[in-house]
Amino acid sequence: MRRQAESSRWWAETEIKVQFFDLDPMQIVWHGNYVKYLEIVRCELLNKIGYNYSEMLASGFSWPIIDMQLRYVGAAVFNQRLKLRAEIVEWESRLKINYLISDAATGKRLTRASTTQVAVNIASGEMCFVSPPALLTKLGVDPC
pLDDT in tens, 48-62: 999 999 999 999 999
Distance from C-alpha of 43 to C-alpha of 64, rounded to nearest angstrom: 14
> pLDDT band at 23, cuts 50/70/90?
very high
Q: Quick check: 118 pLDDT over 80?
A: yes
Write a three-state SS string for the chain.
CCCCCCCCCCEEEEEEECCHHHECCCCEECCCHHHHHHHHHHHHHHHHHCCCHHHHHHCCEECCEEEEEEEECCCCECCCEEEEEEEEEECCCCEEEEEEEEECCCCCEEEEEEEEECCEECCCCCECCCCCHHHHHHHCCCCC
**Max CA distance (Å), the chain:** 52
- Annotation: CATH topology of 11-137: Thiol Ester Dehydrase; Chain A (3.10.129)
b/e per residue 55-91 (b: at least 16 CB within 10 A): bbeebebebeeeeeebeeeeebeeebebbbbbbbbbb
> pLDDT band at 95, cuts 50/70/90?
very high
The predicted structure's pLDDT at residue 142: 76
Distance from C-alpha of 134 to C-alpha of 119, rounded to nearest angstrom: 10
